Structure 1
Amino acid sequence: MELRHLRYFVVLAEELHFGRAAERLHMAQPPLSQRIRDLERELGVTLFDRTRQRVRLTEAGALLLEHARPILEGSEAAREAMRRIRPGAAGVLRAGVPPDTVPLTLRTLVTTFAERVPDVLLELHELTTEAQLAKLREGELDVGLVRHPCDTVGLISGPVVHRRLGVILPERHHAAEHEVVRLRVLSGSPLVIFPREMAPRLYDHMLATCRDNGFLPGAIRHARNPQFVHGLVLAGLGVHLNEPPAGALPPGLVWRPIDEPRLTWSTSVVWRPAHSDDALAAFAAAALAGLHAADHT
């Protein structure tokens, strides 16, 4: 019996839905179904009752769940202990940050962390929210800075900092004349947004909020790099929802606040329960300082 098969089982037992469980595990649904069938054959029991309408734990499944959770928690504690004594690992904090983190936030985070724990090396990784969550659960990161809403089941989350979004427009766009843009005024305009796989729950939340406010994009275009985003908007190929720019926008673009408070970058530090020390506390405090510094620009 492999630990990864137990983890697949526990996630499915928590979700009781193959699609949601596969999404949490960052895998396709058919391989997950096959791994569960393999586990059932190995144990000689049926772990789930499956119908078209629902998935339900059997008595054997409920019993295995009682044993599987402590096993997984113990393996994570052992992994953490080994990581801490591995040569070169001591004194290093592996942290994830979103690719679009503004320079002022990064500068404040790094300098504040160094002031608090000068003997710890901060190893920063530029990762999307989904990639951070996956690496945290696999023990490849110690702490992350993620955007909500996202799946933080099994992780600890610090205070959430909210930064309201506005819209970046070509200066010739009709909505650029408004001091505060109502989302419904943008209806029909294409929307430039990050790819869904970067943060699925946030992506869905943003599109649902736009729809609720009468903003139905004429098309959706995906972009990660801020320069590419600005180029698309400048070319008239869409509008883009984002926080106030940290510096000057390219000529021909403007940023305007919008009338929907639910559209925010909601960001917090997350970490695994087995990992809690002074370096992590220092990172959490430094990240909050960085987020608040950007909020006062």
Structure 2
Amino acid sequence: MELCDLRYFALVAEDLHYGRAAARLHVAPAAVRRRIRDLERELGLVLFDRTSGRVTLAAAGAELLPAARRALAAAADVTDTARDLRAARLGELRVGCAPGAARLVDALIGKVARERADVAVVAVPMWSLQALDAVVRGDLGLALVRDPLPPQGTSSLIVGRYRDDHVAVPAPGPLTKQVPVPLGAFEGMPFLINERDTAPGVHDATVRFFADHGVAPVWQHHRLREQEQLLSLVAAGTASGLVHAHPADVSDPANVACPGVAVLPLAEPGPEHRFHLVWRSDNTSELLSSVVDLICDHGCDLDEPEEDGAAKEGVTTSDGH
């Protein structure tokens, strides 16, 4: 008997329906029926009564169900205990990661893995403001955020920079014939921008960029986290939107585009954004200090190639020292 057999049994007993149990297990109903039949054959018991297309617990199934649930709970306890032991052995550092930070998160995890095999970095996706609040509360050790207004009592360092120097437009379309695309082409046109309460720094920089160039689009507000989601809106013909393209992505447009979208360079330099690594100034955790020191020692810019390094930037506290 396998735990998987007991899990199938318990779910069918809860739903009294093979199809619904199969949907929860992400398998075909026939597979559930087959596992239940095999379990009944192995136990020598009838667990379910099947009459007129209905499934009900047989007497033996009703008596066996509490024991099956205890076994599943015990297995879950083993998994939870193993996870806790692993975290205690390795030292787990949770990092709140803002939208667009995936490349920097990968670089951070890679640096720590190479230099500190006893440390496990766990990335937690969330908005920048949520990540900063979690750091201040002590729920997270670090936050990797875009252009924050650092809360009182925090320290930070800049670990990456990028420009929204490309624009995603519906394709095919007239804008795909203008390369690079002048910002003036979007005068009076629908243009995607995040709601200000989700990412005020990015929102304000985008509005300021258009205003500085005397261009007034028709803003289409959204609450999407990732650039890939924004591209889906562009593909649907909703509007155009600013995007950033890492040099590796620009060399292969398939990395930044999707069907129905053209990602083209802007004629004007787009707004610059910075990624900051933020932590509580009064956090005396040796684990946290070792990770911050590791980033500083190897060059603060996580987006730089490992062999090149980067100019070190001083750690900044929220009061500017």
Q: TM-score range by the shorter chain?
A: 0.5 to 0.7
Is 2:245–2:256's contact at 8 Å kept on the other side of the alignment? no
Question: Following the alignment from structure 1 to structure 2, what is the Cα–Cα distance between the partners of residues 285 and 168?
Answer: 37
Distance of 1:187 and 1:284 partners within structure 2: 43
Larger radius of gyration: 2
Q: Quick one: structure 1 residues 216 and 97, their matched pair in 2 at CA, closer, same or farther if it must change by over 3 Å?
A: same
Per the alignment, residue 145 of structure 2 pairs with 146
Cα–Cα, structure 1 residues 228 and 164, in superposed 2: closer, same or farther, change >3 Å?
closer
1:96 CA displacement: 1.3
CA distance in 2, matches of 1:286, 1:203: 32
2: CA distance, partners of 1:200 / 1:263: 14
1:129-187 C-alpha deviation (Å, 9 max, x unpaired):
10111111111111111101534443212135321112111133433223322222211
Taking the aligned partners of 2:299 and 2:198, their CA distance within structure 1 comes to 20
Question: Do the aligned residues in 1 keep the contact of 2:183 with 2:268 (CA within 8 Å)?
Answer: yes
Unaligned runs of 5+ in 1: 1-86
- 1:279 is matched with 291
Aligned-partner Cα distance in 1 for 2:304–2:141? 22
Instruction: Give runs of aligned pairs for residues 22-61 of structure 1, distance below 5 A.
Output: none
Q: Contact 2:92 / 2:120 at 8 angstroms: preserved in 1?
A: yes
Tell me the equivalent position of 1:201. Answer: 201
- Between 132-141 and 255-264, report the one with greater CA deviation: 255-264
CA distance in 1, matches of 2:137, 2:211: 36
Correspondence for 1:235? 236
Seen in structure 2, the aligned counterparts of structure 1 residues 94 and 228 have a Cα distance that, compared at 3 Å, is: closer
- In structure 1, what is the equivalent of residue 93 of structure 2? 93
**Partner AA of 1:292 in structure 2:** E
Q: Distance in 1 between matches of 2:277 and 2:268?
A: 25
Amino acid aligned to 1:255:
V
For 1:96-152, what per-residue CA distance to the aligned partner results, in whole angstroms no more than 9, with x for missing partners? 1123334x4433322221111111121211111101111111111111111015344
Contact 1:109 1:287 in 2 (8 A): no
Q: CA deviation at 1:278?
A: 0.8
Give the aligned partner of residue 119 of structure 1.
Answer: 118
Q: Distance in 1 between matches of 2:215 and 2:188?
A: 7
Task: Compute the TM-score of the two structures, normalised by the length of structure 1.
Answer: 0.61
CA RMSD of aligned residues (A): 3.0
Which residue number in structure 1 is paired with residue 129 of structure 2? Answer: 130
* Bigger shift: residues 143-152 or 231-240: 143-152
Kept in 2: contact 1:190–1:221 (CA 8 A): no
How many pairs are equivalent?
Answer: 208
Deviation per residue, 1:231-290 (Å, 9 max, x gap): 221122111111116415112311122244451231121111123611232356789564
Matches for 1:145-164 after TM superposition, within 5 Å:
145-159=144-158, 161-164=160-163
Q: Residues 12-42 of structure 1: CA distance to partner in whole angstroms, max 9, x if unpaired?
A: xxxxxxxxxxxxxxxxxxxxxxxxxxxxxxx
Gaps of 5+ in 2: 1-86, 250-254, 309-321
- Contact 1:107/1:290 (<8 A) preserved: no
TM-score by length of structure 2 reads 0.57
Identical-pair percentage: 23
Q: 1:266 to 1:222 in 2, by over 3 A?
A: same
User: 2:143 aligns to what SS in structure 1?
Assistant: strand
1:171 and 2:171 matched: yes
* Partners of 2:168 and 2:216 in 1: CA distance: 17
- Distance in 1 (alpha carbons) for counterparts of 2:209 and 2:229: 24
| Cα distance in 2 between the residues matched to 1:251 and 1:259 | 23
Q: Is 1:257 aligned with 2:269? A: no
Cα contact 2:128–2:148 (8 A) shared by 1: no
Residues 167-218 of structure 1: CA deviation (Å, up to 9, x unaligned): 1111334332233222222112212223322222331221122122123222
Q: Hey, what does 1:76 align to over in structure 2?
A: none
